[in-house]
Chains A and B, each alone.
Chain A
Amino acid sequence: MTARQPVRVLGKASGRLATMGPGFGFLTVFLLVPLALVLSYTVFRRGRFGGVVHEPTGENFARLADPLYLEVVAGSVKLAAITTLLALLLGYPTAYLIARLPARWKVIALVAVVLPFWTNFLIRTYAWIVLLNSEGPVNSGLKALGLGPVELLYTDGAIVAGLLYAYLPLMILPLYSAVERLDPELREASANLGARPARTFWSVTLPLSLPGVLTGCVFVFVFVPSLGNFVIPELLGGGRRIMVGNLIRDQFLKARDWPFGSVLALAVVAVLVLLLFAQAWAARRAGRGA
């Protein structure tokens, strides 16, 4: 036994390397190295044709405080907050109902939630243009009812609708897994002790699913302004509203200002990391409380 132990330890170590190595290598090459490059760009001057000139400067960070960009950030945060709130209001009941379905229907319902991802994102966004434009089915319906036409497309409302549609699954899935995990006996105990279903929900189910709520909200709130997407504001907003995603894209592709684009990208990453930390911390606290 003692003779075999070192062999086993060695086997474990090489096994770890074999299983973690590829993933770790991939992350190093394709995440850490580019991130380090982005980080290094932030302190240099922009090159005339893009790229950077290796003269250190702090002005890229100073520009973050420019009211012009703050206004864009504020607008993005507003749209992201509205989208997150709506996603929560729509997503929670959906997730709750799916979690209470019989097992067979659960699978079908979950597939239905992710089904839109099987179609190209751009095509789905164009579908919204078809739906919402002034000659589209929604407006035809409103006209028939004597209510229209209403200006739907190229408004903030259209952007929120597109974002909500794109990111709702990110809310439903964590909520579902949070609600689904709850021990049904807790609900039964609550009922046995005389609580009505509404009381049970408010005092038992909701508090216990809060970590899922947080995860979903952070996902949606973070994805909307960051990854999120310069495509939806451009297509559904008609380019009349820009979000942080557009601003970053424009720095690289239009303005040839890599350093400032990097600063913006980094600022978004920083906010994202902070939010994820906050979420993890809150989830741990909630877990401890239970």
Chain B
Amino acid sequence: MTRRVPVVASACLAFALTACGGGSPADSAPAALDAKADLSKQSLTISIWDGYSPKDLPERVKAKLGFDTKVAIHDTNETIVAKLTAGGDSGIDVAFVSGQYAQALNAQGLLEPIHRELIPNLKNLYPEASQLAYDKGNAYSVPYTWGTTGLCYRSDLVKTPPTSWNDLLDPAPELKKKITMMTTERWLALPALKLLGASVNTADQAVLDKAKAMLLKVKPDLLAYDDTTFGDRLKSGEAVMVEAWDGWCPTSEKNIEFVVPKEGSDLWADTMVILKSSRNKEAAHAFVNYILDPEVHGWVPANILYRIPNKAAMDKVDPKLLESYPTLAEPPSELLKGESLVDLGEASTAYTRLSTEVSAAQ
């Protein structure tokens, strides 16, 4: 677990940059694609988080499919969404973005519908993979990784293992100043919303106000707000319990455990989307199909320890690995208990205000 891929670090933050503002879902009929197109005449540019795919992916794609692939790197959802919505042709054919961002991109009419007949490997996915709220039925996105948010803690330094979000929001005296929460708005609100029994996608101002009161109450007891280095803080013992994404909790360390609190949590997914502006749509589909190959997709759990929605690939994961990382071995039904994050559109301002109010409070 040496690599920290800033995947969802800022999912839900925001999309940026479109001069033209909103848009409506694409309703024009998708262009017909030629299943027998000569792929060697096409080339592909993908944009993905650093370290999120095998280094030799372009060579492997070239050998297998016969076209050149350029890999561009983005560090957050915002940067890639900014690029894609800046107008004109971004030059990107396939982008990796979190689910709710895929939803927003599609709402702006920027995404090519998935041509299922060109991606036979979709059959490798768990049935649950098409039940994600941001895109039921995978109409315009194909999930690449998925996971949830919970509590990551030092089993040797926390007396009673946490079971509830309340253990974070009303910490025991010995945990004070030794816990961190996430700062990205949707995840900042999540523990309080779940403890209130509300949806992580709620737009109810009364609920958000209650959540705010809880977040303000715990602020003095926090060590820090932290989206990126909480794993290191746990390792050093500076923090003993942190709000964390499952893939980021360094459970490979002896005394570090991950738990999803009993009130439930979210379900996030990072997805692959094909841009409507792409001039290499056949190659793009072939690429997505190639990623879903168990040998290729299996690289993810084996190397960066993220869970993937690919049953065929998960079945091939080394049992020893699953033994050391119990969360990897959980069936998707466990994950599906989490609530899928969706884009909130206009209501997202309420979350922005909430997070500004919490951070500005002294």
Contact = CB atoms under 8 A, between A and B. Distances in A.
Interface of A: 47-53, 68, 71-72, 75, 133-135, 151, 154, 238-242, 246-247, 250, 252-258
Interface in B99-123: 104, 107-108
Contact of B352 (A49, A50, A52, A257): A257
Interface in B158-204: 177, 183-185
A242 B359 contact: yes
A49 B108 contact: yes
A242 B223 contact: no
A240 B359 contact: yes
Contacts of A239: 183, 224-226, 359
Contacts of A242: 356, 359-360
A255 to B, nearest CB: 4
A241 B104 contact: no
Interface residues of A, dominant DSSP: loop
A236 to B, nearest CB: 10
A50 B236 contact: no
B219 interface: yes
Contacts of B16: 49-51, 252-253, 256, 258
Interface stretch (B132-140, B270-278, B307-315, B342-350): B342-350
B6 to A, nearest CB: 13
B14 A255 contact: yes
Given A48-B346, A50-B85, A239-B183, A247 B17 contact: no
Contacts, number: 105
Contacts of A240: 219, 222, 224-225, 359
Contact of B17 (A50, A133, A135, A241): A50
Interface in B5-49: 10, 13-23
Given A48-B345, A72-B360, A75-B360, A238 B223 contact: yes
Contact of A238 (B17, B78, B226, B360): B226
A52 B19 contact: yes
B13 A257 contact: no
Given A75-B362, A134-B238, 5 more contacts: A47-B20, A68-B357, A133-B236, A238-B222, A253-B13
Contacts of B104: 49
A254 B345 contact: no
Contact of B22 (A47, A135, A246, A258): A47
Contacts of A254: 10, 13-14, 78, 184-185, 352, 355
Contacts of A47: 18, 20-22
B39 to A, nearest CB: 33
Contacts of B223: 154, 238
A135 B177 contact: no
A241 B225 CA distance: 10
A83 B294 CA distance: 57
Contacts of B185: 254
A133 B238 contact: yes
Contacts of B353: 68
B21 A52 contact: yes
Contacts of B236: 133, 135
A73 B349 CA distance: 20
Among the interface residues B76, B177, B222, B356, which one has the most CB atoms of the partner chain A within 10 A?
A: B356
B319 interface: no
B238 A135 contact: yes
Contacts of B76: 253
A257 B349 contact: yes
16 contacts: A49-B18, A49-B21, A49-B107, A50-B18, A75-B362, A238-B222, A239-B226, A240-B219, A240-B222, A242-B359, A247-B356, A253-B10, A254-B13, A255-B348, A256-B348, A257-B349
B21 A51 contact: yes
Candidate in A49, A53, A68, A246 with the most chain B CB atoms within 10 angstroms: A49
Nearest to A242: B359
Interface in B204-225: 219, 222-225
B326 interface: no
The 3 closest A-B pairs by CB, nearest first: A238-B224, A47-B21, A239-B225
B237 interface: yes
A50 B104 CA distance: 11
A50 to B, nearest CB: 4
Contacts of A238: 222-226
A255 B21 contact: no
Nearest to B105: A49
A253 B238 CA distance: 29
Given A48-B346, A50-B14, A133-B238, A250 B21 contact: no
A241 B362 CA distance: 7
Contacts of A246: 359
